[in-house]
Amino acid sequence: MSNIIVTSGRKYIDIDAYASIIAYRELLKKQGNNATASTLATLNQSIPPFILKLKYHLDSTEAVKDTKYIVLDTSNPEFFDKRVTTENLTEIIDHHTGFEDYWKKYPNIKTQIEFIGSVCTIIYERIIASGHKNILDADLCKMLVAGILDNTLNLKSSITTDRDRIAYEQLMKIGELSDDYYAKYFTACESEILKDYTRAIKDDIKIEKVGTLPEVIGQMVVLNIDNFNIEKMESVFAEYPEWLMNVISLEDGKSYLYFGGDNVRKRLEKMFDKQCDANDLLVLDKFLLRKQIMKKAREISSL
């Protein structure tokens, strides 16, 4: 019997990767395999302390001879965990598109690449299909639900599919999780961000000139817009002549667009065909990710 290591990306991994590699390891073990889950990457802020304290953990990265690898949550070979090669890789499960054709050249590597909300959804489906539903205890359900919540932005992002919604509902039921589990999860992530708020804003600024949008665009996801610190945001953007900050509020599902600079107000009102709610704030009734806002600006400017 060969050893199997379940792993993911190279630099950072998020809760979707973390939860899915651990849950898939549990399934493989249940099926009689010698499986471990490990990563050489840094765990990002979507994996809060309470998740790390659940009873399931990563294994050590110690290399064993004749190990086969399974990669989850990425299918771009450049992003793979450093230990993975096309020779030792046996399976890929991912929800980012673009490399489906590339992997057709390697018929020995099994792939399931589908554009859905979360890899945790696929792992949940694999567990159910395998007949090993009994491995889904409360802690494993908490991890998989957190992965779905994070990657689909509380099931409100337009990438969310019915399969994600079903997996979420079933895992909530099987794990007997309370209805406010989403709030517990996002609040825990938020308090990690709050430990270094300025840095969190700075680390997610994109500088790219698109259409009539300001060149400097920040983004932050918050549970409730009341928790957002406008003063700290303004101090981060003080050095830029014009800027835009997309604050996605999960509870009401809206985007709060804060901005600064001459004429930005007029340009945004025109772009979204909507009046500003305050001098420096435009609220979108349905949230948009920054990449969706930039895509819209690109489309308008090319008309």
Segment interacting with Mn ion (CB under 5 A) among 129-137, 146-154, 204-212, 242-250 = 146-154
- Verify binding: residue 16, Mn ion, rule CB under 5 A: yes
Cα–Cα distance between 246 and 259 in angstroms, integer? 9
Beta-carbon contacts of residue 66 (< 8 Å; ≥ 6 apart)? 2, 3
Ranges of beta strands (E only) in 89-192 are 89-94, 110-113
Of 128 and 159, nearer to Mn ion (C-beta) is 159
Q: From the CB of 117, what's the least distance to Mn ion, in Å?
A: 8
Of 156 and 274, nearer to Mn ion (C-beta) is 156
- Among left, alpha and beta (phi > 0; psi -120 to 50; other), residue 154 is left
Rounded (10°) CA dihedral 173, 5, 53, 17: -60
Q: From the CB of 95, what's the least distance to Mn ion, in Å?
A: 6
DSSP 8-state assignment for residue 214: -
Q: From the CB of 210, what's the least distance to Mn ion, in Å?
A: 25
Cα–Cα distance between 302 and 180 in angstroms, integer? 44
Q: From the CB of 11, what's the least distance to Mn ion, in Å?
A: 14
Of 146 and 193, nearer to Mn ion (C-beta) is 146
- Verify binding: residue 151, Mn ion, rule CB under 5 A: yes
Q: Which of 73, 81, 164, 190 binds Mn ion (CB under 5 A)?
A: 73
Chain residue at closest Cβ approach to Mn ion: 16
x/- string (CB under 5 A) for Mn ion, residues 20-59?
A: ----------------------------------------
Segment interacting with Mn ion (CB under 5 A) among 74-82, 121-129, 144-152, 160-168 = 144-152
Gyration radius of the chain over CA positions: 21
Segment interacting with Mn ion (CB under 5 A) among 47-55, 98-106, 119-127, 257-265 = 119-127
Q: From the CB of 62, what's the least distance to Mn ion, in Å?
A: 26
- Verify binding: residue 150, Mn ion, rule CB under 5 A: no
- Count of residues that bind Mn ion according to CB under 5 A: 4
Only one residue has tokens 């994600």, namely 164
Angle formed by the axes of helices 138-151 and 15-30, to 10°?
140
Instruction: Give the Cβ contact number of residue 234 at 10 Å.
Output: 14
Cα–Cα distance between 150 and 154 in angstroms, integer? 6
Closest CA to 93 of 35, 21, 145: 21
Q: Which residues bind Mn ion (CB under 5 A)?
A: 16, 73, 119, 151
